[in-house]
Amino acid sequence: MSESSDRILKLGTRSSALALWQSNWVATQLRELGFAIELVKISTSGDVKSGPIGAIGSQGVFTKEIQRALLEKEVDFAVHSLKDLPTEDIPGLCLTSVPPRESVGDVLVSNEISSFDEIPKGALIGTGSMRRKAQLLNQRPDLQVEDIRGNVDTRLQKLDDGAYQAIILAESGLKRLGLTERITHVIDRGVMIPAVGQGALGIECREEDTYVREVLDHLNDLTTFLCVTAERAMLKALRAGCLAPVGAWGQLQEDQLHLQGVVLSGTGDQRVDSDSLVDLSGQTAAAQVESATALGQAVAESLIAQGATGLIAEARENY
């Protein structure tokens, strides 16, 4: 280490229950390694504005203020839900560490419907995600899918109040909050491909801060890092942004990195799919990251060749 571990590292975080759980988890891991961590709560535009996420304004509604605090050295590093972190590079910042991934899937939560296959015709389903909405309608165009906003507890309360017959949430968030009993049904990946980076945490810091980067490297899981690198490279090459109806799922098994991608129209009536894999055996970690990036770009090129760019543009116009 280039500095004394007596330095107190400031961790920037949102104030939602899930964001605090994630940041406290990271802080605990680092404290157990002997580092001093202080949490600094930062309010973001995604936390204070109402309405559908896509209508709030732009990419990074949950991350921009935290990234500003990093650049201005108000905090030393930040923990994000990786699916909320835009793929555009921010000069001076780097995604330096990705801990082991939690479950990547989406789940059905309902007080009256027991599984995806048993959703009645015309049922009212709540989701704040264009990706989930498009994939739901692709499978079941008869459903009524309406926007739902708020943190996990707020969404569950709206469900319990009868505003929806079911809602779709990330399995990882419910697990982290100790709410696994609310999971009615884990939706099959063949029905709903996850969001880019879903279930993973992204730890970001200033590129120049070698001490913090060395500290955070203790938490990096290379398998997860390679999977999300491929997913994020695909999303970046599509120029889609994290709010578009795009799904991706990277898996590493026996040195084979496999990436599956999907792009849909906002109404779900059109979709294009692509998947590919790369053999990472015998490569250095740095070369593996390069291969993962190339894999994501190749899957994106295949999707673009099938018309993905037009589907993304159409979804944006009509959201």
Residue 40 C-beta-side C-alpha neighbours within 13 Å? 17
Per-residue pLDDT of the chain (319 residues; tens, 9 = 90+): 445 567 999 999 998 899 999 999 999 999 999 999 999 999 865 444 444 334 333 455 568 899 999 999 999 999 999 998 989 889 999 999 999 999 999 999 999 999 999 999 999 999 999 999 999 999 999 999 999 988 899 999 999 999 999 999 999 999 999 999 999 999 999 899 999 999 999 999 999 999 999 999 999 999 999 999 999 999 999 998 767 899 999 999 999 999 999 999 999 999 999 999 999 999 999 999 999 999 999 999 999 999 999 999 988 877 6
Cα R_g (the chain), whole angstroms: 19
249: β partners: 260
Helix extents (H) in 192-307: 210-216, 222-238, 285-305
Neighbours of 92 (CB within 10 A): 12
318 vs 312: CA distance, rounded Å: 10
Q: 222-238 and 308-318 helices cross at what angle (nearest 10)?
A: 80
Q: Does residue 161 carry a catalytic annotation?
A: no
Please report the pLDDT score of residue 113 as a whole number: 96
What pLDDT digit, counting tens, does each position of 99-154 carry? 999 999 999 999 999 999 999 999 999 999 999 999 999 999 999 999 998 889 99
Evaluated on CA atoms 71, 197, 46, 271, the torsion sign reads positive
Structure tokens at 297: 């770009």
Judging by DSSP bridges, how do beta strands 185-186 and 124-126 pair with one another?
A: unpaired
What domains lie within the chain, and their CATH numbers?
1-99+200-220 (3.40.190.10), 106-186 (3.40.190.10), 222-319 (3.30.160.40)
What proportion of the chain, given as a percentage, has pLDDT over 70? 92
Record the pTM.
Answer: 0.90
Catalytic residue from among 84, 89, 161, 273: 84
